[in-house]
Structure 1
């Protein structure tokens, strides 16, 4: 009989489900890391929330562990690479608390509109300052959604019910999906200029970090009220305080902070500022939902081998896994590449499998492409939920198989369609194992996709490579590999360089000043 440890406080229904499915379960919470290390070796599964830290050291002691289940979305407390190396599946419940988080954002919006916390404190102090608290109605106001995925779409639905106008900025939002949601798709600058209220619903990635920077906050409508129940780091907190102090920002409510727990912050005590201690998922219903879901998922895996919402494992049979593994690595890298390079809303993704690749089960390859593609925008995507997220965003997914061989014995091509047209990248396997890029937007280029990379499109002219190398050298950046391709002599050329450290904004700014540079971007694999 499989045995599971529930190491964080969880609804009793989780333990009940394990037992009903024939899984032995112990509920032992509050253990120190050393105490957990001493007992983890006897368990096949570990069910956690946010308190237990599943570190490399814990995993090394977990000699029988097969699965870690996180009752919730975030898995920052799990060393996923170490778990993968140990063959431990890591699962989460990405949709169990979406409604709760969306409702909390709406609640904070109302609190800002009517200054409820301060009015409560004043009234309980016996002041009865009726004329001091002049609020605003939300009816007829414009709500700007930054992020229109699962939680953002729920907020939009609630806001429309309140007779608000809703505009949304999301690079993955298509016109068709926007129409379905009843919102208007806009650019970020348009949203900042028009919104009376702004709510954020994106993960924290390199693309979204400080999306409400000092510069962007200055573009907002005077008196705007801002709500963040998503992730700390999406807003420049110092700039937010300046905006509140100056009166340009009418109010702000944060459920999340850059540093948590937020025991102190320059925002505390600022007029028109409301804070809550990361309560987005803290409702009875949400905690029951995620507890039930994680228990069902873990029991399915331990009893029958079923895999749901795994962050480090695709839905594969034991027979398929060894053969598909290198192809899935290639597919994910190609999806990530096209996701990082493509601009604007993408309404269609096509996966073309040619030669030997066409003989394989296409679903894991498609899921791997979508995982890499969507992973550039969200940190909750995995092999299982990637197709669901694509459908939710209104993205059409096509699978095309051609059994005949072309220039390569096996080839994967990933194409995306945007308002600017179709763009594609292609890759193959060398020695049936090593993923390699062979074509980038119609330009032949052979490159490994690994680590940090610099992508440059430039005019093919003598001396450019030398100038680029000098610029990188002066910036102290070491080049690992150098890959070059071009359409024709004197035309457009593409450079892909692997570098030993992440590409910074300062370095990109310097590269973009070089004569002939059309585009420069940092990539990460």
Structure 2
């Protein structure tokens, strides 16, 4: 009988799901806050069900001798060391869509609160004052709402804003024009949004691309008297710069549910006029908490009893029988998608996937999900193989699949082509008999490139001296090249190089390559593979 530890607060109904499925449950809802005790007993369990209080760190995972699955009731998995779990073979699951409506509603509530100064007026009235003239608010009807991030939650906010008769503009690099039309939003660049919006609400994950998206520089571009709402992630806004703008009267107010440091016992935004703050309540409704608790209990039970994988962050959603055969091809598909995702900086209109030979007879839905997840992970690190196709659909991305009998040298291969408004980009790969993936074609140019964690991709005219420039530049800057592959379409035509380095190549070294004038493109790439 599998044994599951629940170390955070889950509903009685969720606990009962485990028991009804024949799983032994140890329900200790306060244990997650006791790191030492949790580490002492974690080795006794097959599953760990958590919310946000439990921190599944690398040290804890090292002690989890029998753990097979970690289930997070909610979307955020910042409290789980996913690389450590993956290395140990532990599945990490979340419930990506259980609290979308709740979070969107909280954002709208915060917007209304800051528009009408409700919290301050409430406190004043409770204090026996009647300061009617002090709390002059603004209407939202007819105002422009700028939505940064038009994915699942952002699109719900857009729908609610239409009900409030607001004009809505959105910035989202992966939002297609077709999807924008479908949800009734004007797609704009970030600078245009900053200059036009009367209210701004953020609905993006925290990534290298979105960190401080409202930086001091961007805050200076804001329309006067704008109001900012952040119910997404701390770190998206420079809190000190925003506090300065509010103090100086350039920004009329802000409503924050999330902070760069949590629990937030101090922030530059605290105690400022017309700043509404809540303690990360975006998902805090009884309906949302119940939904995600029931979902995670069902998912974990399915995995422990049947091997079925659902909503996994680090594992495809496939049956236990398929996993052994498809594993290497799923890994390859993820790498192909990751390559395309890192190389593409504009909205993707369509993804076309070709499966040739032996791979064409496998579970193509799982392979598609792995590939699309690889593409989308650049902008959404929380994406998984179940949510990726949904997120792609939300952005209006068309996905087409073709399969064919073996047509060439390889027993099987996968080729993906993405289309944007300005170009097509393609990459193909295969799995060798040793189970290792290879890139075999980029931009129609045949190659044979081993995939490593740290890679550099270049394009250039096929002229003498390119190998020397690459080797010399890398050597002079202490970069050891583990593998190096060249390819070209024809003599004196376009050529590519892709090298695999022992360590990440710095932007300074990449710029030195660009400064040689030999390359049309120089790009660092990172893949989730073992060194």
Give the structure-2-normalised TM-score: 0.91
Q: CA deviation at 1:446?
A: 3.1
1:498 and 1:222 map into 2 onto residues whose CA distance is 49
Q: CA deviation at 1:284?
A: 1.6
Q: CA deviation at 1:461?
A: 4.7
**Aligned match for 1:312, one of 311, 314, 317:** 314
C-alpha change, 1:343 and 1:116, in structure 2 (3 Å) is: same
Equivalent positions of 1:430-469 (< 5 A) are: 430-462=432-464
C-alpha change, 1:472 and 1:85, in structure 2 (3 Å) is: closer
Residue by residue over 1:336-369, the C-alpha shift from the partner in whole angstroms, topping out at 9 and shown as x without a partner, is 1101112322121111111222232322211110
1:148 and 1:203 map into 2 onto residues whose CA distance is 11
Q: Partner of 1:221 in structure 2?
A: 223
C-alpha change, 1:505 and 1:285, in structure 2 (3 Å) is: farther
C-alpha change, 1:93 and 1:265, in structure 2 (3 Å) is: same
Give the structure-1-normalised TM-score: 0.92
- Indicate conservation of the 8 Å contact 2:452/2:501, yes or no: no
Q: Partner of 1:397 in structure 2?
A: 399
2:465 and 2:245 map into 1 onto residues whose CA distance is 47
The runs of 5 or more residues in structure 1 that have no matched partner are none
C-alpha change, 1:437 and 1:260, in structure 2 (3 Å) is: same
C-alpha change, 1:475 and 1:79, in structure 2 (3 Å) is: same
C-alpha change, 1:225 and 1:499, in structure 2 (3 Å) is: farther
Q: CA deviation at 1:415?
A: 0.8
**Partner SS state of residue 336, structure 1:** helix
Equivalent positions of 1:17-36 (< 5 A) are: 17-31=17-31, 32-36=34-38
C-alpha change, 1:506 and 1:275, in structure 2 (3 Å) is: farther
Q: Partner of 1:241 in structure 2?
A: 243
Q: Partner of 2:301 in structure 1?
A: 299
Residue by residue over 1:93-131, the C-alpha shift from the partner in whole angstroms, topping out at 9 and shown as x without a partner, is 111111111111111111221222333344444553333
Residue by residue over 1:165-214, the C-alpha shift from the partner in whole angstroms, topping out at 9 and shown as x without a partner, is 11112222222222221112222222222221111111111222222223
Equivalent positions of 1:90-101 (< 5 A) are: 90-101=92-103
Q: Partner of 1:143 in structure 2?
A: 145
- Indicate conservation of the 8 Å contact 2:308/2:319, yes or no: no
The runs of 5 or more residues in structure 2 that have no matched partner are none
C-alpha change, 1:233 and 1:458, in structure 2 (3 Å) is: farther
**Aligned match for 2:213, one of 200, 208, 211:** 211
Q: Partner of 1:6 in structure 2?
A: 6
1:461 and 1:239 map into 2 onto residues whose CA distance is 49
C-alpha change, 1:86 and 1:409, in structure 2 (3 Å) is: same
C-alpha change, 1:247 and 1:306, in structure 2 (3 Å) is: same
Equivalent positions of 1:381-420 (< 5 A) are: 381-420=383-422
More displaced stretch, 194-203 vs 442-451: 442-451
Cα RMSD of the aligned pairs, angstroms, is 2.5
Q: CA deviation at 1:517?
A: 4.0
Equivalent positions of 1:491-510 (< 5 A) are: 491-502=493-504
Q: CA deviation at 1:467?
A: 5.2
**Partner SS state of residue 26, structure 2:** strand
C-alpha change, 1:37 and 1:209, in structure 2 (3 Å) is: same
**Partner SS state of residue 74, structure 1:** coil
- Indicate conservation of the 8 Å contact 1:343/1:418, yes or no: no
1:239 and 1:131 map into 2 onto residues whose CA distance is 29
**Partner SS state of residue 321, structure 2:** coil
C-alpha change, 1:404 and 1:500, in structure 2 (3 Å) is: closer
Number of aligned residues: 525
Q: Partner of 1:336 in structure 2?
A: 338
1:505 and 1:273 map into 2 onto residues whose CA distance is 39
Q: Partner of 2:177 in structure 1?
A: 175
Q: Partner of 2:43 in structure 1?
A: 41
Q: CA deviation at 1:291?
A: 1.1
Q: Partner of 2:258 in structure 1?
A: 256
Q: Partner of 1:519 in structure 2?
A: 521
